[in-house]
Amino acid sequence: MKKTVLFAAIVMLLSAYAQAQPVYRFTVKVGIDKESVQFIGGADAVRAKITDMFTKVNKAFNYTRQFDAVYDFVVDWDAFYIYEGLSTEEVHKPHPDHDYLVVIDGLKSDPKEVGGGWYGADIQTIYHARTHTDHFNDPFEKNAIDGIIHEFGHARGMPDIYAMQVNADRNPIAPVACYGERCIMNYPYGETLWSDYAVNMINLSKDKRIEIDELVAAMCPEKIRITVLDPADAPVKDAKVTLYPVPWYSYSVSETPLTEKVTDKKGLCELPGDVYGKTEEFGLGCPNIFVKAEHDGLTAYGWLPLYEVQNAAFDGKEAYEMTLRLKALTPSKPFEFKINR
């Protein structure tokens, strides 16, 4: 009896929580290629799988209760259709009566059917398909559904966190990697968490149809402040600070610096928040920056990924603050190390 009462109380609390939030409802038109329908077992089986997929999409946005609203992506079954021909041509078809179009293709049977994922700007379509192959790839299996949840994250204003990653062997300045942060927008497979940055960006978009690049370009803080300290935590004057860009989706650091600065007597150098530059394709010229500070044979490194820097603006701060502590790059000699007692 006690367990029943407790369960009822929890349900009431969760219901009250949902009622306290606005509901953002988005209409979705869905099309699927004829070959996929045949592989799956007919139109009724496809409808059941699409229904299950969108149940999981909505759960992913609402289960962790991280957002300022309840999200409801609703399939318009009156507009559901089965198509023949190139799926890549379906992607670009207008859908003025719906917020989004989802084009599903489990069997890319033509070499022209390339690409996949989120198509933003004035297209507002998710191309839910796999790499071109000669066999059927189930668009409704678990990883595929995790993938479309990630794409709806784009639809609500969030860039790829994995676009900010760097492999250590592709960093010519120093063999240092940047792995991103845990988030559906980094590695979505089996993931349920939206990072703070993702939550901030998606909350910013509210219920509007948006363009990611414009949001990304607008959310840099006014300034970036870098403080360089010596091994004793004293500020270092005249330390050289060099910033190297990480091009989008490159997993690498460019050898050509964005800029170089020298610290003042407080060990501080100040940069504009939009030091990342501008580009029409992505809003900002790069999504991450590798920082190298050096002085008198000592060195320090750091990263300026958007998922950290732009959170400063969301927190209402004028500047993002970074502290780098210099150290020698040459390892100490173990047989010369003595313990002071």
Amino acid identity at 205: S
The residues of the chain that CATH labels 2.60.40.1120 are 211-328
Ranges in the chain annotated CATH 3.40.390.10? 19-155
Is residue 39 a contact partner of residue 49, using CB atoms and an 8 Å limit? no
What pLDDT was estimated at residue 241?
A: 98
Closest to 36 measured CA to CA, from 46, 44, 28: 46
Q: What are phi and psi of 300, to 5 degrees?
A: -145, 150
SS (H, E, C) 46-82: HHHHHHHHHHHHHHHHHCCCCCCCEEEEEECCCCCEE
Runs of H (alpha helix) within the chain: 2-20, 34-40, 43-62, 87-91, 142-155, 196-205, 212-218, 306-314
> Cβ contacts of residue 38 below 8 Å, gap of 6+?
none
Instruction: Supply the pLDDT for residue 10.
Output: 44
User: What is the per-residue pLDDT for 259?
Assistant: 98
| Residue 332 per-residue DSSP state | P
Q: What is the pLDDT of residue 113?
A: 76
Q: How far apart are CA 85 and CA 106, in angstroms?
A: 13
Cα–Cα distance, 154 to 117 (Å, whole number): 9
Pick from 26, 49, 148: nearest CA to 95? 26
pTM to 2 decimal places: 0.89
The one-letter amino acid code at 282 reads F
**Nearest to 276, CA basis, from 300, 301, 305:** 305
Strands 298-303 and 327-328, how do they pair? Answer: antiparallel
pLDDT per residue, tens digit, the chain (341 aa), is 554 555 455 445 445 555 689 999 999 999 999 999 999 999 999 999 999 999 999 999 999 899 999 999 999 999 999 999 888 899 999 999 999 999 999 877 677 777 789 999 999 999 998 665 556 688 999 999 999 999 999 999 999 999 999 999 999 999 999 999 999 999 999 999 999 999 999 999 999 988 899 999 999 999 999 999 999 999 999 999 999 999 999 999 999 999 999 999 999 999 999 999 999 889 999 999 999 999 999 999 999 999 999 999 999 999 999 999 999 876 656 555 555 55
Q: What is the pLDDT of residue 13?
A: 46
Report domain 211-328's class. mainly beta
CATH of 19-155 among 3.30.160.100, 3.40.462.10, 3.40.390.10, 3.40.50.720: 3.40.390.10
